[in-house]
Structure 1
Amino acid sequence: MSENAPKAAVAERNMVPWNERIAYSFSDFACNLSFQMVGTYLMIFYTDTFGISAAAVGTLFLVARIVDAFDGPFWGIMIDHTHTKWGKSRPYWLWFSISFAVFCVLVFTTPNMSLTGKLIWAYVTYIGVDVLYSAVNIPITSILPSLTSNPQERVTLSTIRQFMGTAGATIITGITLTMVAYFGNGSTDSARGWFIWALIVGIIVVIIFGFVFKYTTERVQTKSSRQSIPIKQSLKALKKNWPWAIIIFINFIYWMGMQTRSQVTVYFFKYNMHDAKLASFVLSLQIVALVAVVLTPWTSKLIGKRNTMLGGMILAVVGQLLLSLGATHLSVPMIIFATIVGYLGTGYVSGLIAVMLADAVDYGEWKNGVRAEGIVTSFSSFSAKLGMGIGGVITGWILSGTGYVANHTQTASALHGIELNYIWVPLLGFALSGIALMFYHVDGIEKQMQSDLAEKHARENDADGE
């Protein structure tokens, strides 16, 4: 047998067939169907349907995110300690998809309670959604290094996943108000409409996760992945792991900006533009992000992953600046154009975050000799949730501080507060993310890193086979 035969065999095993690529992509489709509904519509559901003040909602978002943000590392440690016939990450979709879907329904349920009772209900169900979301979402990222060790194949997988994730987000944000009104006798504030639609979405999510579990395979097996890793040892994967630190920061600040924008979109069009139905159309424009998603493998191969994401951040900043012009002149065409530019930018960003985290797993093993997919990727959930929590409290406190009153004509100050959340906080998040990317230099050492790791894995597998 030639010397290159083992390498060729490994490469062939690490290629992912199309049926599995599609199955993996539906994991993000399912997550976005449910969690984008929560992230985009829960605040206006709480203030305009459930009857909780904006300030109370903002505090709820902050406290809940701080409490549940720590579940990310918890699930990461659990994944690193999991060793089943199904793999390390994959079983979590089987174990937790139903309970996650149940809480996605409960969070949009409106029991008849006092204000204190409503707040308790909101805290319990919202924290429950977040904790269980981590249980099914962290494995989506942690499984990527186990699906393939080929860097370009990872970009392809992440691109297809992001394509479907964006499709899920576009569908749910575009039709939710219409469906709520349909089931709620024409009212987008209908408690009945929100509950029935959330129930339908929850059932769909469970079915999809069953499909994802059945048709995915963890094929990259290393010495570390075949055994439980002690917590102290798994944390060594983070030592001087600068690519990981940079991506985690970006994940925090980027999602802080995205959260403030998404959760006030309906407010902006309902009160600033006096056309709440236009919010559904603008949110559905996320579909243009699919253009960037499709181009991501080509652009990342041509100019590198860092430069591709940086270009996306720049487009996102430009989109926000154009949005400010549209808001100033109440120009719907300008707002639509600005939204398209912004979504093209974020289309380049979202999918590459997962790829770069997979690279950070490799970097941690290359630098420190420890491969810990769970703990390295779990901080993605921690940072994103913390960012979204800060974004939530910023939104709630700005709305409250500027005098927002639900279902009333807003003052000039309140309208300005909505605009701050919709335009300027996201712009700050995108700009800081772009600056952080200037310090990311993995693309230049990737070939050497992958070559060294391939030799290391081959030695370990040969030793285990003796």
Structure 2
Amino acid sequence: MDNNKQVSWSERLSYALSDFGCNTIFQIVGTYFMVFSTDTMGIKASVVGGLFAVSAIIDSIDGVIWGQFIDRTHTRWGKSRPYWLWFSIPFALFCVMSFTAPNIPMVWKIVWIYIAYLGSKILYSGINIPVTSILPAMTSNPTERITLSTIRQFFGNLGAAIFLPLTLPAVALFASFFDKSNRNPSTSAIGWFLWALLLGVVTVVCLMTAFKGTRERVVTKDSNRAIPLRESVQALKGNYPWAIIIFINFVYWGSFAIRQSSLPYYFKYVLHNEELGSAVLAGTIITLISTALVPFFSRLIGKRNTMLLGMIGTALSQLILHFADKMGGNVPMILFGMLIYYISYGLVGALIAVMLSDAVDFGEWKNGVRAEGLVTSFSSFSAKLGMGLGSMLLSAVLSAGGYVALSNVSDSAQSLSALNAIRMGFIWIPMFGYIASGVVLLFNNVDKIENKMTKDLRMKHQLEQGE
């Protein structure tokens, strides 16, 4: 299908580096920002929770604004690509600020983390929404989109697999050279700053490479004009595939954020084994295997059923972790639960962008408007809103449980209520979120109409080019 629009391997790899670059540092922000703020900067968990609440409010609007910017952008580089050129460096700078602990009064430390965290979140939308919005513009071939999204997700997971497990050892290594007096290297301010700075450089290089190496080749009548908002919203009318994937984005990634942010607390305070926490993060590499199998499973059982299989697996993994916890932190069972989680997670992430591309096509097919920016921007909006509210919920749960930040290596005890709060964040809340996502996904049947939709749109685009 559409052999003239197939994407070369060099372009596939360039596109994949966009997500690799995003995840290189933003996964670190999502996983360690809260524990850095509480245990290194000494800020109360309730204060960080207030920051997450503000972030959730901003996330509810900034994604849509970025989407409108994309729909109104018309440059020689296309609509989506230039955002990697314009905002990669500012994004990296704010992420580095998120792990910088200046020696200033507490009130100004709070102001600092607000500016740094909100800036990184807003600019993340500015570079990540184009990662999704460019996909339907790179090819109109559904099979090729699955391939592109799979490679993108593979590299995104690769970034997390490489840098997440290296984070605490790297921070400790930098601390051993530049902060030798610190009794607990994992709380070293200089260690966190140098590690974030290194990741920021990697992020910028990857995004610049993605900008240089990709193309927007699907040309429609809407590609070369600024689409007004009142017209863009018509693409959402009756667009049930879009509504379903946006809901899933909100619940699934909100659950992911809660689980990811509570993981360091769980291994530090419940299991008293931070090293094991770093080791299981290395298991992200397993995700690469299941991600690589997404095209095969999609051809075999369909996109929806492949994603559903992943959601069932992530929910099951949380149940396994519960039984491991009840057995006193049984390490083999914990490792088995994490194995199931990473395999299942890889089946989900690669297909979200593909289903958003389907929603772009469905909006044009049903309503005659192709609004890539607006349709895909709600993905960032819903994911970031879910992650923001999820992080806020976690901080509220920790505060209600009486969690106290402990900066000394000898102070590893928390109250029973605090430990149960950590368990709630790491095991139970994510499990219910994964179940809810799977139930809603059952109502998506785009796979059944995809061939007709693709054929109709190809004829429409050929007529428009002829005109």
- Aligned counterpart, 2:239: 241
CA distance in 1: counterparts of 2:439 and 2:223, whole angstroms: 34
User: Counterpart of 1:281?
Assistant: 279
Contact kept? 1:69, 1:381, Cα under 8 Å = no
Structure 1's unaligned 5+ residue stretches are: 1-7
Q: Tell me the secondary structure at the aligned position of residue 184 of structure 1.
A: helix
Partner of residue 27, structure 1: 18
Which residue among 106, 112, 116 is the counterpart of 2:107?
116
Secondary structure, counterpart of 2:279 in structure 1: helix
Which amino acid letter does the alignment assign opposite residue 197 of structure 1? W
In 2, the alpha carbon distance for the partners of 1:45 and 1:322 equals 28
Q: Give the secondary structure class of the aligned counterpart of 1:126.
A: helix
Match of 2:165 among 165, 174, 184: 174
Instruction: Establish whether residue 411 from structure 1 lines up as the match of residue 410 from structure 2.
Output: no
1:82 maps onto 2:78 in alignment: no
By how many angstroms is 1:264 displaced? 1.1
TM, length-normalised to structure 1: 0.96
Per the alignment, residue 340 of structure 2 pairs with 341
Report 1:138-149 matches (<5 A). 138-149=129-140
Q: Tell me, what secondary structure is at the counterpart of 1:445?
A: helix
Write the distance in 2 (CA, Å) between the matches of 1:18 and 1:281. Answer: 32
Partner of 2:212: 214
- 1:287-317 CA distance string (max 9 Å, x none): 1111210110011111110000000000111
Per the TM alignment, residue 114 of structure 1 is displaced from its structure 2 partner at its CA by: 2.1
Superposed, 1:314-325 pairs within 5 Å as 314-325=312-323
Listed one character per residue, the Cα deviations across residues 308-356 of structure 1 (whole Å, up to 9, x for unaligned) are 0000000111101001011111101100100110111111001100000
Q: Within 5 Å, give how 1:21-100 maps onto structure 2.
A: 21-100=12-91
Supply the AA of the counterpart residue of 1:356. M
Q: Deviations over 1:219-261 (max 9, x none)?
A: 1111111111111101110111000000000000001110011
Cα drift, residue 412 of structure 1:
1.1
Who is 1:4 aligned against? none
Q: Per-residue deviation at 1:385?
A: 0.6
Number of matched pairs = 454
1:142-193 CA distance string (max 9 Å, x none): 0000110000100000000111000001112110001111111270100000
Unaligned runs of 5+ in 2: none
Determine the structure 2 residue equivalent to 1:193. 191
Structure 1, 203-212 or 60-69: larger mean CA deviation = 60-69
State the identity as a percent. Answer: 53
- Alignment-derived partner of residue 424 in structure 2: 420
* SS across alignment from 1:221: coil
Q: Distance in 2 between matches of 1:246 and 1:64?
A: 24
**Cα distance between partner residues in 2 of 1:445 and 1:67:** 36
Q: 1:153 is matched with which residue?
A: 144
CA distance in 2, matches of 1:113, 1:431: 44
For 2:23 and 2:443, the matched residues in 1 are separated by 30
Aligned pair partner of 1:439 in 438, 443, 451: 443
Query: Which of 270, 280, 292 is the aligned partner of 2:290?
Result: 292
In the superposition, the TM-score normalised over structure 2's length comes to 0.96
Cα displacement (A) at 1:112: 1.8
Q: Report the 3-state secondary structure (helix = DSSP H, G, I; strand = E; otherwise coil) of the residue aligned with 1:253.
A: helix
CA contact (8 A) 1:234 1:370 kept: yes
CA contact (8 A) 1:234 1:371 kept: yes
Q: Secondary structure at the match of 2:266?
A: helix
Matched, 1:461 2:459: no
| 2: CA distance, partners of 1:59 / 1:286 | 30
Note the alpha carbon deviations across 1:434-463, whole angstroms, 9 max, x for none: 000011010000000001101111111111
Counterparts of 2:3 and 2:310, CA distance in 1: 33
Task: Specify the code of the residue in structure 1 equivalent to 2:9.
Answer: W
- What's the CA shift for 1:361? 0.1
Q: Match for residue 5 of structure 1?
A: none
Asked if residue 386 in structure 1 is aligned to residue 390 in structure 2, the reply is: no
Following superposition, the deviation at residue 69 of structure 1 comes to: 3.4
**1:286 to partner: Cα distance:** 1.2
Q: Which residue of 2 aligns with 1:429?
A: 433
CA contact (8 A) 1:13 1:219 kept: no
Query: For residue 3 of structure 1, what is the aligned residue in structure 2?
Result: none
Q: In 1, Cα distance between the equivalents of 2:57 and 2:345?
A: 25
Instruction: Write the letter of the residue equivalent to 1:133.
Output: Y
Alpha-carbon displacement from aligned partner over 1:353-372 (angstroms, at most 9, x marks no partner): 00000000000000100000
CA distance in 2, matches of 1:167, 1:69: 29
Tell me if the contact between 1:229 and 1:372 (Cα under 8 Å) persists in the aligned partners.
yes
Q: Are the equivalent residues in 2 in contact too, given 1:79–1:89 (CA < 8 A)?
A: yes
Matched, 1:353 2:352: yes
**Residue identity opposite 2:431 in structure 1:** L
Q: Secondary structure at the match of 2:402?
A: coil
Superposition RMSD in Å = 0.9
Distance 1:77 1:368 in 2: 18
Partners of 2:462 and 2:201 in 1: CA distance: 43
Contact residue 40 and residue 263 of structure 1 kept, 8 A: yes
Q: 1:363 — aligned with what? A: 362
Tell me which amino acid in the other structure corresponds to 1:416. N
Instruction: Report how far residue 13 of structure 1 moved.
Output: 2.7
* Cα distance in 2 for residues equivalent to 1:251 and 1:35: 17
Is the 1:65–1:127 contact (alpha carbons within 8 Å) kept by the matching residues of 2? Answer: no
- Displacement of 1:402 in angstroms is 0.5
Between the aligned partners of 1:69 and 1:38, the Cα distance in structure 2 is 19
CA apart distance, 1:66: 1.4
Q: Distance in 2 between matches of 1:334 and 1:62?
A: 35
Distance 1:366 1:116 in 2: 53
Contact 1:40 1:262 in 2 (8 A): yes
1:127 maps to 2:126: no
Could you list the runs of 4 or more consecutive aligned residues of structure 1 that deviate by over 4 angstroms after TM superposition? none
Letter in 1 for 2:110: L
Q: Which amino acid aligns with 1:289?
A: T
Higher mean Cα deviation, 123-132 or 183-192?
A: 183-192
Look up the equivalent residue of 1:312 and give its one-letter code: G
Distance 1:68 1:254 in 2: 16
Question: d(CA) in 1 for partners of 2:130 and 2:306?
Answer: 25
Q: Given residue 395 of structure 1, which amino acid in structure 2 is its aligned partner?
A: L
